[in-house]
Structure 1
Amino acid sequence: MKTAVMGAGAVGCYYGGMLARAGHAVTLIGRAEHVTVMQRDGLRLEAQSFDQRIPLAASSDASACAGAALVLVCVKSTDTESAGRLLAPHLAPGALILSLQNGVDNAERLQAVLRRPVLPAVVYVATEMAGAGHVRHNGRGELVIGPSADSAALAAMFGAAGVPVQVSDNVRGALWSKLILNCAYNALSAITQQPYGTLVQGVGVGAVMRDVVDECLAVAAADGVQLPADPWPAVLRIAETMPAQLSSTAQDLARGRPSEINHLNGHIVARGAALGIPTPANRVLHTLVRLVEGRAAR
């Protein structure tokens, strides 16, 4: 299947690379520094079981998605609307659009811009850009996608490429479960610049994470979200399954880039305020990350 990836950062390069490795025609759309290298040398995909350069197409222009049957949108939550506006003129009429983003409302926001269906996906993968045109895979890699007429075929295609996919009737609950994981880890990892395995060993960190999760659960309940399971055991497992992973928020701050914190802990703070649920732990983490971002900007 001809596939375009809008936002070829760590997540986009990993999933695009896995599809290209399985023989699909893939075009990665990303930053010029990565595109230049990938056009010359291909994408270096350093996975846990292999390390190879994968030939594929790369561009820094959204028009490169023209003719794609599948478009994976992997941009930061802060760029959802702008990416949608760039993509809209070039999308094939029957193209499937899949949102592989953090946060819980990106598919809806993208759909509003494109005025066509967007399938939400929950991403569980630990990746980082280790250099220009070089993505490193540190763990996991599965997807959860919403139900549609095309979901079974997508699950089979990704599965054949080595990417496990679950189709869920409760994708909203799955998105919120991932949001809770991000709220527990991302800001703390970003502020301390520590990977998950080291972070959780800090004095008092477990109690702070428990406070953050409890606030998220209260907001989710008030918002009518049906979580598929208690997320706390999954929170504990993250440090075990991804001990060397820095959060995407930590990677953003280390590079002096804006983070997605408004769509993570900030989302909990905003929904809590709207629903009358106190969220002091999430508010502190949101505020601290914004302060660090402001210092980097100055």
Structure 2
Amino acid sequence: METRRDNKPLRLLFVGAGGVGAYYAARLIESGNSVVLVARGSHLKAMQSQGLLVNHDHFSFSNSVCAVDETTLKSQYQCGDFDVLVLCLKSQDTTSWLDSNKSWLSEGCTPVLSLQNGVENEGVVGTALGVHRVIGGLAVRIGAHIVAPGCIEAEGLGQIVLGPWPNMAANHGLKTMVENLADVFNKSGIPTRVAVDIQYELWKKLLVNNGVNPLSALTRKETGFLTKHPGYKQVVYAAMQEVAAVAVADGVVLTQSDVDEMFRLICEFDSIKTSMLVDLEKGRPLELDAISGSVLRRAQTLGIATPVTVLIHSVLTS
């Protein structure tokens, strides 16, 4: 596979131009990269007719963008027209997107960067396209949502951690591309670091996601409330400990220090509405299967009790 480390602007496709995807895309467009956004519905129509508006405490963007639907993407572009495909879809949509675009994706060898919740998306992409095309990634300390068609409100540092899937040693061929991506992201105002073991990093994020996302949907409270409330704070910590207990099913070791580190971080974060709470408020499907569901599947395989995750997941799915 051809890799690049020439510091030239990148050609990127963002699949899923919701809050997080549109925010990062705007940052990259502003710094001179070529970006195509795939969207649908009124959000797509608004971007096509009025452009994209992004509001953030330290960044604002209001400009025309190249936004298309999937049909237009496949008729007007080839997979090889892009240096990287960035997936910002909800995790429950990953398999269907890969299936519906199988022929288009197989015509090129463009790497796919997953910026999605959970620890299973990279494996799904790798099974469909080959591990040699998979870059794992996670967005950290960002809250970003569509507040009106074509309009995004974002907050937080918006950091990214990325690396070849499942780690640098096993997928060394993508090292140059990953380093180039990090260079371009950093120059675009997106704090980014390259991880030697991205699978481990994704599991560390799942500590936080399982700790606060389902509970925030259940209680309809922001993260700051949950981590300051004396009772809910204990529930958050217990749910995080259950993630550490089942990570071994994927060959990942999360220590007590990892749990404590991520717990401190979520307690120090600015209070935000989790994506799961926003989805609940808007009547959209929740990413439960990718977050608490992934914990419960591994717990069952290992024969480990995860009562906190079971209870919250069961209430939300009943």
- Asked if these proteins are the same fold (TM beyond 0.5), I'd say yes
Tell me the residue number matched to 2:84: 70
**1:113 counterpart (124, 128, 140):** 128
- Partner residue, 1:272: 299
Amino acid at match of 1:191: L
- Of 119, 123, 131, 2:148 maps to 131
Task: Give the aligned residue type for 1:97.
Answer: V
What CA distance in whole angstroms lies between the structure 1 residues aligned with 2:259 and 2:146?
Answer: 28
Alignment gaps of 5+ in structure 1: 292-298
Following superposition, the deviation at residue 89 of structure 1 comes to 2.8
Letter in 2 for 1:27: V
CA RMSD, Structure 1 to Structure 2 (Å): 1.8
> Which residue pairs with 2:98 in the alignment?
84
Q: After TM superposition, list the pairs within 5 Å mapping 1:42-191 onto structure 2.
A: 42-61=51-70, 63-64=72-73, 66=78, 67-91=81-105, 93-115=108-130, 117-124=133-140, 125-147=142-164, 148-149=174-175, 150-191=177-218
Segments of 5+ residues of structure 2 without an aligned counterpart are: 1-9, 165-173
Please give the secondary structure, in 1, of the residue aligned with 2:156: strand
**CA distance in structure 2 between the aligned counterparts of 1:222 and 1:35, rounded to whole angstroms:** 40
2:58 alignment partner AA: S
1:16 and 2:25 are equivalent in the alignment: yes
Match of 1:258 in 2: 285
- Structure 1 residue identity aligned to 2:270: M
Deviation at 1:29, TM superposition (A): 0.6
- Find the aligned partners of 1:30 and 1:235 in 2 and give their Cα distance: 34
- Letter of the structure 2 residue corresponding to residue 119 of structure 1: I
Q: TM-score, normalised by structure 1?
A: 0.91
* Contact map agreement 1:62 1:87 (CA 8 A) in 2: no
Q: Secondary structure at the match of 1:52?
A: strand
Letter aligned with residue 68 of structure 1 = F
Contact 1:126–1:242 under 8 Å retained in 2:
no
Report % sequence identity: 31
Q: CA deviation at 1:223?
A: 4.4
- 1:121-141 Cα offsets, whole Å, 9 max, x none, are 122122111211111111121
Query: How many pairs were matched up?
Result: 290
Aligned residues of 1:174 and 1:227 also touching (Cα < 8 A): no
Q: Is the 8 A contact 2:53 2:61 kept in 1?
A: yes
State the AA in 1 paired with 2:159.
Answer: E
**TM-score, structure 2 as length reference:** 0.86
